[in-house]
Amino acid sequence: MGKRIISINPKPKQSQAEILTKLKESLGAKWSCCVLITCTAPEKNGKMEVEMHFDGDETLAAFLVENASQVFEERCLLCESKNGIT
């Protein structure tokens, strides 16, 4: 699986929608859907703000997020098995 790192250098008060627009522009016309999930650093009580924005077809965005979740679950299980955690 190939990965492409894109630096968009957001401005301090830039909205998530503006960042998503820059991200999609950086990706180029080839991509029909993108999802941006961000969060703040956790507060002392553990709370954090989480935001998700997407551009493109809602069903496709849901598919991307669901499959990304499965990838992370598989990686967590693999790490746990390597570290002897059950």
Q: Record the pTM.
A: 0.61
Task: Find residue 50's DSSP bridge partners.
Answer: 39
Which conformational region is residue 11 in: left (phi greater than 0), alpha (psi within -120 to 50 degrees), or beta? beta
The DSSP secondary structure of 62-79, one letter per residue, reads: HHHHHHHHHHHHHHHHHH
Whether 7 maps to a domain, the answer reads no
* Domain contains 11: no
Residue 77 resides in a domain: yes
Q: Is there a contact between 36 and 54 (Cβ–Cβ < 8 Å)? A: yes
Tokens 């693999």 belong to 78
Residue 2 lies in a domain: no
Q: What is the identity of the amino acid at 51?
A: E
**Has residue 29 been placed in a domain?**
yes
**Tokens at 52, concatenated:** 């998700």
State the residue range of the domain holding 58: 16-82
Q: pLDDT tens digits, the chain, 86 residues: what are they?
A: 445 555 555 566 777 778 777 877 787 778 788 888 888 899 999 999 888 888 889 999 999 999 999 988 888 887 777 777 65
